Structure 1
Amino acid sequence: MATTGSASAHLTAVPPQPRSPASPAAPAATATLIGSVQRAMRLLETVAGHEHGAPAKQLARETGLALPTTYHLLRTLVHEGYLRRDKGLFFLGDAAARLSCSGEQQKRRSTVVDILARWRDAIGAPVYYAVYREGEIEVVCVSGAAGTPAVEGWADFRETGHAHAIGQCLLSQLDEDARRDHLDRYPVRPVTPYTVRDDHSLLRRLERTRRMDLVIERQEYALGAVCAAIPITVGTTAASLALSMPAHQADRLLPAARRLQAEMGRLVGSLELSISI
């Protein structure tokens, strides 16, 4: 076993080891940014400020980019559809317009989601919003919660419009030709023992439904669930707001639907915006 003195001698005999190069300093946050993307975005913003278009040299001058870099980025952006070129001038392209449109659509969807959630909490039942668009029943938004779960869509909602209140409400707003066209594509068929049995019976029911009447459906689409749908006039588009409840709470359905119908008038404008979602 070595003594302390010999250990010291041994340690001092070890030649100094070469120092490894100093570790580089942690990169600044900006080191992770991609310069070409920043330049491209700057070009897009500059083009957006020129309603009547702008030439490459002007865009290079306003963005502070070298002219060759500007030409390269402009060609790329035109190729990807974010810009278009016409007679030497550059304009925003369809892809850029779609970005803006998507943002507006998301904003409208968020507005509708918030409205339905408020009504769901106030009434104590799940709320649905649907439209009839391009010959199809389309559920735009459903607002349910743990204590007020929405009806499970166990059968295709588009194909079973005859069986649920939403579909019947939307079909009641169509003209006779549009109704028959829908039923030619999606014939009436049993979904539960309570479902309307044939096209003739359904058409008679729809004809008796006045345009702004509530539509009530009891276990025709889902056993154990009842539903009420309220028609909404949105220009030429058929739309509907609906709510559902467990069958054992059926006595609450009509009062809740009438309350919803009375309250929705002041917010129907927000629902109208969602037609384009």
Structure 2
Amino acid sequence: MALKPEPTAPFHSVQYALRVLECVAKHTGGVTDVQIARETGLPTGHLSHLLRMLRREGYVEQVTGGAYVVGESLVLLGSAGNRQQALYDKLQRTLSEIRDSVGAAVYISRYIDGEIKITQYADGPRAPKVNEWVDFRSAGHASAVGKCLLTQLDHNGRRDHLARHKTARLTSRTITSEKVLFSRLDNQPPTVPVLDLQEYAVGTVCAAVPITAGRSVGCLALSMPIENAHRLRQAADALNRSAAPVLLSLTL
């Protein structure tokens, strides 16, 4: 599977966050934000934002005197014995927080062995998940999840996928032309959420943003009933801002 070369915005944030965590882990007795800025070369404003995110996610903690030390989440994810369960639990907590903040069901999807797979999701009574009336694996051309994953593949990767999963018409809004679909995917800015406006299912709108590092293709997505469509773009922007912590958990 070949990926497109350009990285996404969350990827850059994660690279910076990893530099901060490496610095904090190196100073077992704690390290100040001034020292972190000096060692990482990050601007103070950007560093403050990262440290807030890392504290919120439990990757660093602030001790007496304002110094930063390694947090519980980082310790758990660094433990080989229960890493997979710790990662699942951490992602599930994050998804639940995102669900509550954006008021929509949220999903993590990965492109694994040539197939679209929803690996985790968080829904609720006021944030119902989408009715999977057509297998997501066969609806990559229509769903926000699928289109977001396909944008991260190169031309040959997309052609291989569509050779196995035809662009069937699911609603009157579904793009069935491969030429039109490829043009949309090529022109999709990597920092802008991919939208699905009733292309997969009548009565449902969705958005997805990439969470890609190395050769791992993934996305963070949301869905909501059509009556909430007026909130979609605002929710999608909030989802975009939430992508970095999810990608960081997957990267560690």
Q: Shorter-chain TM-score category? A: 0.5 to 0.7
Alpha-carbon separation, structure 2, partners of 1:106 and 1:138: 19
Shift of 1:103: 4.1
2:125 matched residue in structure 1: 146
Partner residue, 1:106: 85
The aligned counterpart of 2:38 is none
> Deviation at 1:268?
2.5
Alpha-carbon separation, structure 1, partners of 2:232 and 2:172:
21
| Ranges in structure 2 where 5+ consecutive residues have no aligned partner | 1-78
Q: Please state whether the residue corresponding to 2:150 is helix, strand or coil.
A: helix
1:260 aligns to what?
239
Amino acid at match of 2:160: D
1:231 to 184, 206, 210: 210
Q: 1:146-165 counterparts in 2 under 5 A?
A: 146-165=125-144
Q: Distance in 2 between matches of 1:209 and 1:178?
A: 16
Name the structure 2 match of 1:115.
94
Q: Are the structure 2 counterparts of residues 153 and 246 from structure 1 closer, same or farther at C-alpha, using a change threshold of 3 Å? A: same
Q: Distance in 2 between matches of 1:210 and 1:124?
A: 25
TM-score by length of 1: 0.59
Instruction: Judge conservation of contact 2:109–2:119 (CA < 8 Å) in 1.
Output: yes
SS, match of residue 173 in structure 2: coil
Work out which of the two has the higher radius of gyration on C-alpha atoms and give 1 or 2. 1
Pairing 1:124–2:103 present: yes
Alpha-carbon distance in structure 2 between the residues aligned to 1:107 and 1:222: 34
Moved more, 261-270 or 227-236: 261-270
Contact 1:151 1:225 in 2 (8 A): yes
> What displacement does 1:245 show?
1.2
**Partner SS for 2:202:** coil
Q: CA deviation at 1:199?
A: 1.4
* Cα distance in structure 2, aligned partners of 1:257 and 1:102: 36
Once the two structures are superposed, the pairs formed by residues 147-226 of structure 1 within 5 Å of their partners are: 147-226=126-205
Q: Deviations over 1:79-132 (max 9, x none)?
A: xxxxxxxxxxxxxxxxxxxxx978432221111111100110111111011011
Question: For residues 265 and 224 of structure 1, what CA distance do their matches in structure 2 show?
Answer: 29
Q: 1:104 to 1:191 in 2, by over 3 A?
A: same
Q: Answer yes or no: is the 8 Å Cα contact 1:131–1:138 preserved in 2.
A: yes
Tell me the CA shift for residue 216 of structure 1: 0.7
Unaligned stretches of 5+ residues in structure 1:
1-99
Local SS of the residue matching 2:127: coil
Supply the AA of the counterpart residue of 1:251.
H
Paired AA for residue 205 in structure 1: R
